[in-house]
Every structure is written in C-alpha cells, then in structure tokens.
Amino acid sequence: MTESRSRVWLARPLFADISGRLDEHFDVIRSEPAGERYTSQEIAAHLTNAHGALVTLVERIGAAEIATASKLRAVANVAVGYDNLDIPALGERGIVVTNTPDVLTETTADLGFALLLAAARRITEAERWLREGQWRSWSFDTLLGHDLHGSTLGILGMGRIGQGIARRATGFGMRTLYHNRTRLPEAVERDCRARHVGFAELLVQADHLLLALPYSPQTRHIIDAAALARMKPTATLVNIARGGIVDELALADALAHGRLAAAGLDVYEGEPAVRPELLALRNVVLTPHIASASLGTRRAMVSLAVDNLIAALGCGPRAGRPPNVVNPGFIGNRPGA
Ligand code: GLV
C-alpha cells in the first residue's frame, strides 16, 4: 500500500524552479486569486483539505479561515512580518507558523536608506519638477533639502533590519540613536555605533526617523499626531515596517503644514490603497511595499519558506525542526533569535 502524501496549498505562483521543490514531498495545489486578493471564504476553501500552506503577506489567516481546516499543521509565510496571521488562533490549533527572517535584512535596509536619501534630498520631487518642464534657469535655492551626513538618525525598532540601517548610517557620518523594547547587548550597540534612548527623546532628537518595528495592536499608530508634534519640523520620517504604525492622516497634515519636512513610505495602512491626502503631497516619496523586492532576495525568501514548510511537515533534512518558527511553544528559533 502506498502511503498518501500530504497536501500543500501554494497560494501564489512563486518562482516555479524553487517552489517546485515542494512537489518532491507533497501533492501541491497551486492557485492564484481572481483579483488582487483571495476572499476569506476562498482561503478557507483552499485550507479545508490542506496539511500545509505557503502564503504571502496579503493572505490573512485567522480563526475564520481555519475553521474547517482540520488537517492543517503548518503555514509558511513568505515574509519576515506575520501580522497577516493570527498567531494565537493558529497556535491554539497546533498549527506551526514560520517566517523568512535574515535573508531580506540587507535588501530591506538598502531600501530604507534609499527612501531616506530620496525624501531628505527631495530626489523624486526634483525629478517630477524637472520632467514637468519647470526647470527654466539654475537657481541657488532650488529644492533645498536636508543633509544626512552630520545629522542624527533615530531608529525605532532595532531588530535585524534596524541594525542594518544603523550600520549603513556609520558610512554616511550620521550619529545613531535607537529605541527598542529591550536594549541591545553592548557589543551589538558598539557594532552598530548606536545609543539606546527613550521613545520621547528619540522623537525630539532625530533629524531623520526610521521605523523598523513589528506591527501589533500595541504599535498601531505609535507615530500619531502627538508623536509627530515632538519631532523637528526639519525632520524626515521613513516607514519600511507596516503602514498601521503611523497615523497617516496626522502625517499628511504635518507634512502639508510644514511641521515635518518630508517622508518616505513603503507601506500603508490600507494598501494597496494609498490615502489621497498623501498622494497629493510633493514632500513624500511613495513606493509600493518593495523593501525586500530584489530578485535575489525574493528568491531566497521563497527558498527559505519552502525549507520551513518541508521541515514543519516532517520531511527533508530538518524534519520536525523548521528553521524559523514564530509561534511560541514550538521548537525552533524564536522571533528575533
Ligand atoms: C515584508 O514586508 C515582510 O514582512 O517581509
């Protein structure tokens, strides 16, 4: 009698040469949403008979989506953030959740720095102005921005990506302050040349503030009107974490009324929708959630998610020991490990 193979749902067509490794171990159900996203009902239907799922950050899975998924044992997220997954609900049902840290750290830090430079030095605004044919003569005070060198960089959230930003800042001659729930070991602070300060001090001191913290109910709108009011009117704000961390209406208001110089945003609370109040502003650089989007890194993320799923479902060389488990109580690495 042949042993029946586990069934795995592959929610998006992700690099067939890499995701094809799943076929060596499982019966793979491949699908694509009809529109931009699956409905909750579609996700539930795909999970009903699946033992595992490989999903991206736009597939939201919680109690409703797993209600009929009695066989589901593992969900591998192709992202470092996992706020799309209801960890307590999945954990309660014994479903292992994994993510893809490390492989995207440097690429994401690069994009954070690109947004910082673009916003502070008004690069996209300048290009639009030039293309609109507004450059009629050279003038001394056209499009004056703010320097990175010699300035103070504030980093909110000093995990792997925040540390990558801090290491880049040393090359730009910046002084780095950071705020994190827990202070980093001294050796890491020395390596990053970064000093831990309180949240309020970070807001007040930063010439440029970069957000690299996980999204949770506790961090939702942590950058609100009150936080923005503490920042320097010459400051730049960059968000490469999750849109919900910033109160976008308060941000748009501060940018429109000269209480903040510029912003660079890669993430939005209602993405892919971007608030018209932000779209109307020239002093904000907007990118469509592409921080980890280099070919090499996106391939590495898929590869890691495939490894995680194979191991979580008891196959391959790491059977039972997936490298990147995020829900507490399971074996494997913990978030931030
Ligand atoms: C991207 O936003 C990720 O969490 O990997």
Q: What is the pLDDT of residues 39-85, one digit of tens each?
A: 999 999 999 999 999 999 999 999 999 999 999 999 999 999 999 99
For the CA of 100, the nearest atom of ligand 1? 5
Q: How many Å apart are CA 213 and CA 7, to the nearest integer?
A: 34
Q: Which domains does the chain have, with CATH numbers?
A: 7-103+295-330 (3.40.50.720), 105-286 (3.40.50.720)
pLDDT of 336 higher than 60: no
- pLDDT value of position 301: 98
Contact 46, 38 (CB under 8 A): yes
Question: pLDDT at residue 335 above 60?
Answer: no
Question: In this structure, are residues 259 and 66 in contact, taking their beta carbons and an 8 Å threshold?
Answer: no
The stretch 295-301 carries a mean pLDDT of 98
What's the whole-number mean pLDDT along residues 7-12?
A: 98
Cα gap 1→191, rounded to integer Å: 58
Q: Supply the residue whose CA is at minimum distance from atom 4 of ligand 1.
A: 81
Q: On the CB side of 171, how many CA atoms lie within 13 Å of its CA?
A: 6
pLDDT at 85 (0 to 100): 98
- What percent of the chain lies above the pLDDT cut of 70? 96
Residues 95-124 have a mean pLDDT of 98
Over residues 129-178, the pLDDT tens digits come to 999 999 999 999 999 999 999 999 999 999 999 999 999 999 999 999 99
Residue 289 is a catalytic residue: yes
* DSSP per-residue letters across 232-284: -TT-EEEE-S-GGGB-HHHHHHHHHTTSS-EEEES--TTTT---HHHHT-SSE
Atom of ligand 1 nearest to the CA of 267: 2
pLDDT of 195 above 80? yes
Per-residue pLDDT, 172: 98
| Ligand 1 surroundings by CB, under 6 angstroms | 57, 79-81, 104, 292
pLDDT at 4: 83
Instruction: Please tell me the distance from the alpha carbon of residue 104 to that of residue 291, in angstroms, as a whole number.
Output: 9
Q: In which band, very low, low, confident or very high, does the pLDDT at 334 lie, cut at 50, 70 and 90?
A: very low
**Ligand 1, residues 14, 56, 98, 108: which to mutate, most atoms within 8 A of Cβ?**
108
42 is catalytic: no
Band of residue 330 on the pLDDT scale cut at 50, 70, 90: low
| CA pair distance 334, 133, nearest whole angstrom | 53
